Amino acid sequence: MPDRGTGPAPDWDVIVVGAGPGGAAAAKRCAETGLRTLVLEKRAWPRDKVCSGMIMGPWAHDIIRDHFGAIPREVLASLPVLKGHFFHVPGAAPAVLEWPTPLAWRKNLDAWLLQKACAAGAEVRTQARVTQVESHGQIIRLTLNGPDGDEPLSARWVIGADGANSDIRKVLFPGLKTSYSTPIRECYPGSLRLDQNYFHWFFPKGRPRPRFNVNHKDGFFLIEGSGIRELRADISRILADHWFDPSQKPIWRDGCLIPKLHQNLIESWPRKESSRLPGQEGRPPVLIWNCCGRSWPRLPYSFSNRTPSPNPPPRLPWAVTSKTLTKKPCGFPEPISY
Ligand SMILES: Cc1cc2nc3c(=O)[nH]c(=O)nc-3n(C[C@H](O)[C@H](O)[C@H](O)COP(=O)(O)OP(=O)(O)OC[C@H]3O[C@@H](n4cnc5c(N)ncnc54)[C@H](O)[C@@H]3O)c2cc1C
pLDDT at position 6, please?
58
Q: Does 271 fall in a domain?
A: yes
- What confidence tens digit (pLDDT) does each residue in 158-172 have? 999 999 888 988 887
Exposed/middle/buried for 266, CB within 10 Å: 0-12, 13-18, 19+? exposed
How far, in Å, CA of 227 to CA of 184, rounded?
Answer: 7
Question: Minimal CA–CA distance to 324: which of 309, 310, 337, 314?
Answer: 337
Ligand 1 neighbour 161 (Cβ under 6 A) = yes
pLDDT at position 99, please?
87
Ligand 1 neighbour 22 (Cβ under 6 A) = yes
Phi, psi of 224 (to 5 degrees): -135, 150
Q: Does 286 fall in a domain?
A: yes
Beta bridge partners of 140: 135, 155
For the chain, give the mean pLDDT: 80
Question: Which atom, in ligand 1's list, is nearest to the CA of 57?
Answer: 11
Domain of residue 220 covers 183-255
Q: Which residues of the chain have pLDDT under 70?
A: 1-7, 208, 210, 262-282, 294-338
Ligand 1 neighbour 297 (Cβ under 6 A) = yes
To 10 degrees, what angle do helices 106-119 and 21-32 make? 10
Ligand 1 neighbour 186 (Cβ under 6 A) = no
Q: Count up the domains in the chain and report the number.
A: 2
> Distance from the CA of 290 to the center of ligand 1, in angstroms?
6
Residues 142 and 278 in one domain: yes
pLDDT at position 304, please?
38
How far, in Å, CA of 73 to CA of 62, rounded?
Answer: 17
Entry pTM: 0.86
Q: Does 306 fall in a domain?
A: no
pLDDT at position 294, please?
67
Ligand 1 neighbour 256 (Cβ under 6 A) = yes
* Cis-peptide, bond into residue 259, ω within 30° of zero: no
pLDDT at position 171, please?
84
Residues 113 and 214 in one domain: no
Q: CATH number of the domain at 147, please.
A: 3.50.50.60
pLDDT at position 334, please?
40
> Distance from the CA of 219 to the center of ligand 1, in angstroms?
24
Residues 116 and 236 in one domain: no
Q: Does 82 fall in a domain?
A: no
Residues 167 and 189 in one domain: no
Q: What is the DSSP letter of 321?
A: B
Ligand 1 neighbour 217 (Cβ under 6 A) = no
